[in-house]
Amino acid sequence: MLAEAKDPHAELLTLIWGPQFDREHALSLWARFSLCQPAQAVRLLPVLMSVGERFDALARVEKDRLRRMIVRHRALSK
């Protein structure tokens, strides 16, 4: 879903930057993906919503750790 994104790390951080998973942004990414890969998008939607539920259930410390890992990976991949 993020393969064509200019900055996939930024997209991931957008999804998880706030206290709750940004489902609106996730659905906009999914909608764009569904135009190119409709069969895969159908299977991806429930997984994407499950990721949101799992993220929302994390403690704040765990959410912060996940964000730091993405930022670190972004720096290492440049």
pLDDT of residue 71: 96
* Token pair of 57 as six digits: 């259930």
CA 21: distance to chain centroid?
A: 8
Compute the distance between CA of residue 36 and CA of residue 18 in angstroms, rounded to an integer. Answer: 28
One-letter amino acid of 51: V
pTM of the model: 0.89
C-alpha triplet 38, 13, 25: angle, nearest 5°: 45
Q: What are phi and psi of 56, to 5 degrees?
A: -60, -30
Per-residue pLDDT in tens (0 to 9) along the chain, 78 residues: 888 889 999 999 999 999 999 999 999 999 999 999 999 999 999 999 999 999 999 999 999 999 999 999 999 987
Ranges of each domain in the chain: 8-76
